[in-house]
Amino acid sequence: MTQNSTSDQEEVVLQGIGVSPGVVIGPVFRLVNEEEHIVERDVTPREIPREINRFHGSLDATRRQIRDIQSTFEKSIGHGDASIFDAHLMVLDDRVFIEEVVRDITEKRRNAEAGVRVVSEKYAAALGAIKDAYLRERVVDVQDVARRILRNLSGRQEAPSEDIDQPSILVATELAPSETAALKRDKVLGFATDLGSPTAHTAVMARAMRIPAVVGLHDISVRVSTGDRMLMDGNKGVLIIRPTAERLSEYGHVLEVRKSFENVLQGQVALVAETRDAHRVGLSANIEIPEELDAVVSQGAEGIGLFRSEFVFLAQGHLPSEDEQAEIYERVAKRLAPAPVVIRTLDLGGDKFLSHVKYPSEMNPFMGWRAIRLCLAQPDMFRTQLRAILRASRHGNVKIMYPMITKVDEVLQAQELLESAKAELRSKGTPFDEQLPVGVMIETPSAALTTRAIAPHVSFFSVGTNDLIQYTLAVDRVNERVAYLYEPTHPAIVRLIKETIDVGHEHGVHVALCGEMGADPIMAPLLIGLGLDEISVTPTAIPLIKDAIRHLSHKDSQALAEEAMKKHSAAEIVSLCREVIAQVRPEILDLVR
């Protein structure tokens, strides 16, 4: 964090984490801590039943509100993001939580508000002490539910942001998912919070709702007051309190440049991703739900490089049948044919769980029973999905991909189950693509280092940089305390990507990349120079990546990659990439950071 001045009347510049892009200027609306409205008091024995009834009534009201929010959010954004609220409903139905609050009211003779506060703080503290990042982030879910219960108990039915009387930038210690879902774009220009990370639920929802946001500002909630003028750049993670006239003029120009540049990008949608010296690079989209197909087409993707099939499962209240899955996969394949569609098999576990599947209790679910491990341990469920994908392959453009491979044995086991699924369909006379291409995610160091063993058994690799970086560098990517160590250009990562590409090409294996690293246009010269055949990103990132590719030289990118392989730090490699982008397309630097 940096500061220009200590004077309350002078401009202050703060550096946070930009989690949702966009530049906004406006007055601050500071959210008051909900607990400031809560009154705690002792109760008489005669009042205890009434307090317990008040508590149960507030649980019912909270449950209805969260279901309403989930339904509204699902209609506007999609089930993949709306499923975030399943965790909130689980807290409300937790018998231990409910019984502890009732016991506190009965034994301590305190009102319902006090009981909810005491028990929820106990739960939050216990979760916060756990090492696993996913479980630590569930603290927010518990706190969100508790705040809403307390709000219902106090009679404050509206969301905190309802008090905003003019378009403003929301500032808070932290925004809960339900509070984020309730934000109205005509009132909330953007939001800034003390806490948060790029992969937290609130950040995911901000991006889905296209609300500019900066998090991880540490103490912004006590630095500003309602009415203060503020400028926020969600692209660069910069927040400026009381911006000067010069700063406003500077950003006014930046906004004009960005708007003009974005118009240029949209004008290139129909063009191919090809360097100045005619080197083609595949540019495809990552999606979670079929509803994203319109964006895939409108943004100029050449196909789908990653269809996260687990969201088909998360969207159901039950394990989807073979027919239900096949209908969805076929809808996607048919809409995009003949463009390729890569369907990744179930990547459940880690931070994505089904309420109707029993999971073991794990200290670190990201390294536990998940993805291909879960599928191989549940062969019936896995074969059902494989048959559904095979049925969709009759359109001739479907590929299948296995996630979180760590060794060739897992590939061979998965292939055996795939052959079994093919045999079942053949026996029924059900058509499918007998030559269905099979690939694997390279997202663990062990997979990257054993690609020579894996390559003979697959048609393509897809480098999943999000997990590859996390596992290689031993960095929890949702922990803001070590976020500075999460470096896509760390020499170890660059070498693993290069090794994967080289081995893949030696064996005639197509090599793609589908992690967030690919969505950063500054990385484009490095990735192209390393030899990637394809980059797959979120649909909205495609125009900018395509523009970067079209302004690059393949020959110069190869020279950059060779130089990058000699460097000893991530910063040196980033600097090389920025220098190239600054030379060929400086507007990109103004747009992204």
Q: Write the CB contacts of 27 (distance below 8 Å, at least 6 apart in sequence).
A: 166, 168, 169, 226, 227, 228, 229, 230
| Beta-sheet strand order (sheet of 188-193) | 12-15, 238-241, 229-233, 23-30, 168-172, 188-193, 213-215, 17-20
pLDDT at position 175: 82
Burial class (CB in 10 A: 0-12, 13-18, 19+), 421: buried
Per-residue pLDDT band at 6 (split at 50, 70, 90): very low
Tokens of residue 19, six digits: 């989690």
Share of the chain above pLDDT 70, in %: 84
Which amino acid is present at 422? K
Q: Give the whole-angstrom CA distance, residue 431 versus residue 434.
A: 9
Beta strands in 242-303 (DSSP E): 282-287
**Whether 201 is catalytic:** yes
Q: Give the whole-angstrom CA distance, residue 162 versus residue 194.
A: 21
Indicate whether 573 pLDDT > 80. Answer: yes
pLDDT at position 363: 53
Q: What is the pLDDT of residues 92-102, one digit of tens each?
A: 888 888 899 99
Other beta carbons within 10 angstroms of residue 324's beta carbon come to: 17
Phi-psi region of 280 (alpha: psi -120 to 50; beta: other; left: phi over 0): beta
Mean of the per-residue pLDDT values of the chain: 85
ω before 338 within 30° of 0 (cis)? yes
Domain ranges of the chain: 12-33+160-260, 35-154, 266-592
Indicate whether 7 pLDDT > 70. Answer: no
**Whether 79 is catalytic:** no
Q: Give the whole-angstrom CA distance, residue 386 versus residue 408.
A: 19
> With contact defined as beta carbons under 8 Å apart, do 546 and 552 qualify?
no
pLDDT at position 353: 47
- The radius of gyration of the chain's CA atoms, rounded to the nearest angstrom, is 25
Tokens of residue 443, six digits: 């997202």
Measured in degrees and rounded to the nearest 5, phi and psi for residue 287 equal -135, 165
Q: β-pairing, 398-402 with 238-241?
A: unpaired
Identify the helix (H) or strand (E) that includes residue 343: strand 341-344
Find where tokens 């969201």 sit: 311
> With contact defined as beta carbons under 8 Å apart, do 69 and 178 qualify?
yes
Q: Give the whole-angstrom CA distance, residue 445 versus residue 366.
A: 14
**Sequence-distant contacts of 557-560: CB under 8 A, at least 24 apart:** 557/275, 557/524, 557/525, 557/526, 557/528, 557/529, 558/529, 558/531, 559/529, 560/525, 560/526, 560/529
Indicate whether 499 pLDDT > 90. Answer: yes
544: Cα separation from own chain's centroid: 19
Of 254 and 416, the structure prediction assigns the larger pLDDT to 416
Average the pLDDT over 215-224 and give the result: 86
Selected catalytic residue, list 79, 88, 201, 554: 201
Which amino acid is present at 76? S
pLDDT at position 1: 41
Tokens of residue 424, six digits: 């079942």
Per-residue pLDDT band at 355 (split at 50, 70, 90): very low
Q: Give the whole-angstrom CA distance, residue 146 versus residue 123.
A: 10
Q: Give the whole-angstrom CA distance, residue 50 versus residue 101.
A: 14
Per-residue pLDDT band at 318 (split at 50, 70, 90): low
Q: What is the pLDDT of residues 277-307, one digit of tens each?
A: 999 999 999 988 787 888 899 999 999 999 9
Indicate whether 361 pLDDT > 60. Answer: no
> With contact defined as beta carbons under 8 Å apart, do 132 and 365 qualify?
yes
Indicate whether 192 pLDDT > 90. Answer: yes
List the one residue out of 76, 80, 74 whose CA is nearest residue 328: 80
Measured in degrees and rounded to the nearest 5, phi and psi for residue 259 equal -65, -45
Q: Give the whole-angstrom CA distance, residue 196 versus residue 21.
A: 15
Average the pLDDT over 531-552 and give the result: 93
Q: What is the pLDDT of residues 119-159, one digit of tens each?
A: 888 888 877 766 555 555 667 778 778 888 887 887 665 55
Average the pLDDT over 496-524 and give the result: 95
List the one residue out of 181, 430, 439, 214 whose CA is nearest residue 323: 430
Selected catalytic residue, list 375, 514, 554, 577: 514
List the one residue out of 29, 17, 32, 25 whose CA is nearest residue 240: 25
pLDDT at position 4: 43
Identify any residues that bridge with 192 across adjacent strands, giving them in sequence order.
171, 214
Average the pLDDT over 323-347 and give the result: 95
Q: Write the CB contacts of 158 (distance below 8 Å, at least 6 apart in sequence).
A: none
Nearest 5°: CA angle at 279, between 585 and 294? 75
CATH of domain 266-592: 3.20.20.60
Q: Give the whole-angstrom CA distance, residue 50 versus residue 308.
A: 48
pLDDT at position 174: 83
pTM of the model: 0.69
> With contact defined as beta carbons under 8 Å apart, do 304 and 296 qualify?
yes
Looking at the structure, give the CATH architecture of the domain made up of residues 35-154.
Answer: Orthogonal Bundle (1.10)
* Alpha-helix residue ranges (DSSP H) falling in 2-111: 48-76, 79-82, 86-92, 95-108
**Sequence-distant contacts of 426-435: CB under 8 A, at least 24 apart:** 430/390, 430/391, 431/391, 431/394, 432/390, 432/391, 432/393, 432/394, 433/390, 433/393, 433/394, 433/396, 433/398
> With contact defined as beta carbons under 8 Å apart, do 385 and 309 qualify?
yes
Q: What is the pLDDT of residues 439-475, one digit of tens each?
A: 999 999 999 999 999 999 999 999 999 889 989 999 8
| Longest CA pairwise span in the chain (Å) | 84
Q: How is domain 12-33+160-260 classified at the CATH fold level? A: Glucose Oxidase; domain 1 (3.50.30)
Other beta carbons within 10 angstroms of residue 10's beta carbon come to: 12
Indicate whether 362 pLDDT > 80. Answer: no
**Most confident region among 120-134, 174-188, 260-274 by mean pLDDT:** 260-274
Q: Write the CB contacts of 99 (distance below 8 Å, at least 6 apart in sequence).
A: none
